[in-house]
Structure 1
Amino acid sequence: MSRLVLAVDTATPAVTAGIVRVDGDAIEVLAEQVTVDARAHAEQLTPNIVAALGDAGTDASRLDAVVVGCGPGPFTGLRVGMATAAAFGHALGVPVHGVCSLDAIAAGTTGDVLVVTDARRREVYWARYRDGRRVDGPAVNSAVDVPGGAAAVAGSPEHTALFELPRLAPVYPSAAGLVAAVRDWDADPAPLVPLYLRRPDAKPSQAVKR
């Protein structure tokens, strides 16, 4: 069954929107718009979606599904992407599939691969993959605390540089990677849940001892 899919991700500095045709195992990217700006998620996502639809020569009414990266990522970025995806799904009456954004970066890789993105505060979001399938994570740690064992690393350039591993090309979640991360198109999508992973800044005060 052929599906026309809108794929969006705002879990990283890349504001990604793409129109993808899925037919069985075949994935064809018809159009993709990417703006790399960590402060422009809200401003750029909708224009990128509109531009991608235009480049693909289609309109939103023809979409069969939406895929959105659910992080891990910062609160503001994730909120923009997931709210927009949910709005499209609700308006069009089509399913919205949430995927791990790190899975989208790892899609198509082979061997044991570590994927890392910026978690700020001198930490990284990370997950490990074997032939594109996640085997550990996602989690957030300082780079020195990320478990070893990977043969290569992909993701944020400034953070892959923290690991003495060969670097692979994928940097940000792509439209093709987001679509490839959906495991079952026929299953009812689970509710969208953001992967913040961030330990809270505020901690509850200890009860006063009597």
Structure 2
Amino acid sequence: MSSTSGWVLAIDTASGINVGLAHDGRPVDSRTETSSRKHVEELMPMIDELLAAHDLSASDLSLIAVGIGPGPFTGLRIGIVTARTLGLVAGVAVRGFGSLDAIAAAWFAGESRPDSPVVVAADARRKELYWAAYDASGIRETGPAVTVPGGLPLLPVGGPGIEVYPEVFADRIAPGAPHRLDAALAAAMIDHLPDTGLEPAYLRKPDAEVPRTRKSALPSTKKLRIAYRQEGR
């Protein structure tokens, strides 16, 4: 399969903020912010800085690729909306990829390529993990799904989830297993990743819920209650 020619920008906000550039199928540069609470403040400045570092503008891109998760509601929404808006303004095509798929693809393409099935996991908070299982050739067989750490298949594990629960996976972390998504590699390998569309993979309901029952079509503000739960373990 040939690689997309020209410049490709990859954006992923499933675990922190990751932006990366590739040119003619080769990774070039990337930026990472590990905090999951700064998407609004940091994403566009990171993109602008990355493009400026290579004397590029958004209109110079051939493609914008964006991770659709799984991940938290707010982070995914901001990442996907940013990618779609940037593509619309610059006249550049936008396509989605699975965040766990990108980590797995980089793992299987690297020097420490697994020779057996593996699991890629990411923090889902609430003492759970997002995960997907891949066969020995790197093809996704199961997932993505969300479960408690002890519910993952008994396979070697990679991905950001291994940093959150090292005591659970201490004897299953494969040598050379990636700990984070590399956005530059995701941009370089985009033609080898399944095209997921642009619908975010939340896997569970957002933390802001509006009560279903209302006594009046025009309730007072005292009777209308919106419950917010802050995401956390």
Q: CA deviation at 1:57?
A: 2.4
Q: Aligned equivalents of 1:125 and 1:55: distance in 2? A: 33
TM-score after normalising by structure 2 = 0.75
Change (3 A) 1:184 1:142: closer
Aligned position for 1:21: 23
Aligned position for 1:114: 119
Bigger Rg, which one: 2
1:158 lines up with 2:167 in the alignment: no
- In the alignment of these two chains, the number of paired residues is 195
Decide which of 2, 5, 10 is 2:5's aligned counterpart. 2
Q: Is the Cα contact below 8 Å between 2:121 and 2:129 reproduced in 1?
A: yes
Question: Which has more strand, going by share of residues?
Answer: 1
Deviation track 1:163-205 (CA, whole Å, cap 9, x = no partner) reads: 23024442222113423244379xxx66411000025777x99
Change (3 A) 1:28 1:177: closer
**Residues 163-172 or 88-97, more deviating:** 163-172
Could you tell me which runs of 5 or more consecutive residues in structure 1 were left unpaired when the two chains were aligned: 206-210
> Larger RCO: Structure 1 or Structure 2 (Cα < 8 Å, ≥ 6 residues apart)?
2
Aligned position for 2:179: 171
Write the mapping of 1:1-210 to structure 2, written as runs, cut at 5 A.
Answer: 2-13=5-16, 15-22=17-24, 27-109=25-107, 110-111=113-114, 112-130=117-135, 131-148=137-154, 150-156=155-161, 157-159=163-165, 161-163=167-169, 164-167=171-174, 168-179=176-187, 180-183=189-192, 191-198=197-204
Q: Is the Cα contact below 8 Å between 1:106 and 1:177 reproduced in 2?
A: no
**Residues 150-159 or 118-127, more deviating:** 150-159
TM-score after normalising by structure 1 = 0.82
Give the SS at the match of 1:104: helix
Q: Aligned equivalents of 1:56 and 1:46: distance in 2? A: 16
Q: Aligned equivalents of 2:186 and 2:9: distance in 1? A: 10
**Residues 64-73 or 190-199, more deviating:** 190-199
Q: Is the Cα contact below 8 Å between 2:6 and 2:23 reproduced in 1?
A: yes
Change (3 A) 1:60 1:161: farther
Give the SS at the match of 1:166: coil
